[in-house]
Amino acid sequence: MAEPQSNARLRADAGAPRSGVIHVRTRLTADFTVISNALAQRRGSAVTVGVAAYILSLPDGSPVSIAALCEHFTEGEILISRALRELEAGGYLERRRERLSTGQIRTRTYFYDVPGDTPNPDGPPEPPKPRRPRKQPAPATAVPPASATVQETVQPPVQAEAETPVPLADADPRAVAVLAALRRVDPRLVLSAQEAAHLAPAVTRWLATGLLPTQITDHLTARLPGQFLTRPVGILGYRLKETPLPLPAPATSAEPPVRPAVVPMRNCDGCDRGFRTAEPGRCRDCRGRDQLRAAG
């Protein structure tokens, strides 16, 4: 008797999954960046993850300011600054202000592979610390190693002064009126009395250059993000940092304008109809009839 035959496969394929992504791995030996899964799989904005991956791929000393990142990415300064704030709140990005022996202030930017980690060049690497947000980093007294530095800028010496809130009664009423009217264009632009008093001096400077309140309103409300992560006073204050150029003065002539002479009204000597003429006499119709009579 012949043995029974079957078309069924002896075993199922256990290699490729039936759905989802299939990775095609390539062993890289140069031009690659190591990034943790916690950062690559971070929930939230894709711009934040992209900015973090780009900063990790840069060599030490590369500029990572908002202007430098905007030249590389197609996103605007609002999305880039929001991504940097999220990375700083998550503990990946840190900015330290250090005072040199010359009295100058130097700002250094650090980017961590693991949030909360600190450079340890003398000993073995420590295990990564749990993630914790860095709200107010302590000022460093010693200069960190150059391997951890991403950006270094030198600023003139400044004196830290506590900002005293300006009373709303002392603010320019025209500037306060411009700020209070912003909610009519965008209902999200609601400011408190202290926030309006804080922004009023910048609006006063804009008005002093000759700009109209409608022009300032159009500038402050144009191309706003779809969702605010902070109070609107932060976005408005950022847009009011730059003082616009004053409007050019209108061209004035030394000679007074010449007004055309007005011909007086007179009555026609023939038909008593009113018409404009420099000398008394007959109107055009009466002169035409006189010419016809003389010709006939």
| This prediction's pTM | 0.36
pLDDT in tens, 175-186: 888 888 888 888
pLDDT at 8: 56
pLDDT at 292: 75
Residues 7-39 as b/e (b if ≥16 CB within 10 A, e otherwise) read: eeeeeeeeeeeeeeeeeeeeeeeeeeeeebeeb
For the chain, which ranges sit under pLDDT 70?
Answer: 1-16, 116-169, 243-256, 296
pLDDT in tens, 27-45: 888 888 888 888 888 888 8
Of 167, 166, 192, nearest to 180 by C-alpha is 192
pLDDT at 10: 54
The DSSP secondary structure of 92-133, one letter per residue, reads: SEEEEEEE-TTS-EEEEEEE-SSTT----SSSPPPPPPPP--
